[in-house]
Amino acid sequence: MKKFFSAVLSLLLIVGIYMAVYINQKFTTAQINKVKGMYYVNLGDAAYRELKMNKAIKLYNIGVKLFPGHYGGWENLGNIYVAYEDYPSALYAYSEAFKHNPALMTARMKYGLVATQKMGNFDDALVQFNEVVNTKRKLITIPFIYDNAESTKQNRAIAYYNIGVTYRLKALYTNDDWEKAREYLKEAINAYKKSLEIAPYKYDTLYNLGLAYHIAERYNDAGYLYCKAIKLKPMSYEAHYNLGVLLRRMRKYQDSYDELEKAATLITALDEDSVQIQYVALILNDVLNQIHTNEYYQKQVLREKLEEEMIREARSKTWHFKFRFGTKDPYEDEYDYLDNEDNKKDKKKETVLGHGIEIVNGKVTATEELDKAVTKEFSKCPSLKYFKGVVD
């Protein structure tokens, strides 16, 4: 009898399981597909790490089709589409990633960058950047293990920076509607400032804020910020170049030439065949022409020539004085002193070159000491004296 009841109970249990599976067929299928999807996404991750992109795309697509909620798979799929320059597919993949995980700030940021820089969808990009800024994340701190406070802060700074870039680009595409352009530039400036409040020592933000002021014709603020950017990254050519262009606009031609020459030197060091070099060379030539046609500069050159003529004439008189009278000119010591100072300067320059250059594997290279000296020289911003240090 006991065996009979045991068999009946077992049968009922099996029937119950089958009934539950039948009734919850969709749920059961979803769970099975979820497991399969995670398996294919993991295979896609392995192919992604090995840079087998075509294989990764196929595996990820299978994985997210089986398990659409796998936001990591969608995000990585978007990254690969960007690498292949399939930007519409990338935007779709990123949107699916933050659709299934609204707190996934990296996917929102990437969506915004692609939308702005590759597709020109400025408004869509601003929506996502603002989501990053406005989303309040729960801050978790586990000493020596995990702390998301700093990454959250940096993400907000980057988002504000990208909002600024997007509004600046919008200003450039206003079809000569200057009022609208001014409105967008104002938004860009405000966004850059908010970014700098969080991360004050960022070259890109300082440079782009200066550029926004430059476009808005606020030259004082632009020049000041270009100088601050140069101080942070003296070997980046952009701030030197824009400062040179700004100084040219202000008719400070010699200062403009000096900054443009620095920019040309840095661009040449990066890419000898760059089109930018040719463009900078054209502007340098124009500034040089402006220098030579500038009335003040011409007077300065004339003054220097007259001084040189006076020195030569004085030295000539000294020679005649000694030849005729065999005595010493009372001013001879002063001329010798000037000659000695010039020789010291020449020797100093020769010494710097001698110590600053070395041969490595048959190639002439600069020493670390010379590199530091060049960096120090490029970090100087003599034109700062033209700009007030207040940006409102």
Closest CA to 124 of 175, 77, 90: 90
Phi, psi of 101 (to 5 degrees): -145, 85
Q: Which residues is 364 bridged to in the sheet?
A: 359
Q: For residue 145, give the DSSP letter.
A: T
Closest CA to 208 of 224, 226, 194: 226
Instruction: Label the pairing between strands 146-147 and 363-366.
Output: unpaired
**C-alpha angle 250-252-253 in degrees, rounded to nearest 5:** 120
- Measured distance CA(123)–CA(166) in Å, rounded: 9
Structure tokens at 161: 């920076």
Structure tokens at 341: 């100072």
- pLDDT at residue 323, as a whole number: 45
Q: Which residues is 360 bridged to in the sheet?
A: 363
Q: What is the CA radius of gyration of the chain?
A: 34
Q: Which domains does the chain have, with CATH numbers?
A: 32-268 (1.25.40.10)
- pLDDT at residue 164, as a whole number: 96
**Which segments of the chain have a pLDDT < 70?**
1-13, 15-25, 139-148, 271-366, 389-392
Instruction: Label the pairing between strands 357-360 and 363-366.
Output: antiparallel
- Measured distance CA(238)–CA(260) in Å, rounded: 10
DSSP run (H or E) holding 110: helix 105-114
Write the CB contacts of 53 (distance below 8 Å, at least 6 apart in sequence): 47, 80, 83, 84
- Measured distance CA(102)–CA(130) in Å, rounded: 13
Neighbours of 187 (CB within 10 A): 19
Phi, psi of 360 (to 5 degrees): -125, 115
Write the CB contacts of 203 (distance below 8 Å, at least 6 apart in sequence): 229, 232, 233, 236, 239
Neighbours of 194 (CB within 10 A): 18
- pLDDT at residue 351, as a whole number: 40
Residue 283 near residue 248, CB atoms below 8 Å: yes
Instruction: Give buried/exposed letters for 52-88 (b at 16+ CB in 10 A, else e).
Output: eeeebbebbebbbebbbebbbbbbbbbbbbbeeeebe
Across the chain, the runs of DSSP E, i.e. the strands, are 141-142, 146-147, 357-360, 363-366
Phi, psi of 104 (to 5 degrees): -80, 85
- Measured distance CA(164)–CA(216) in Å, rounded: 14
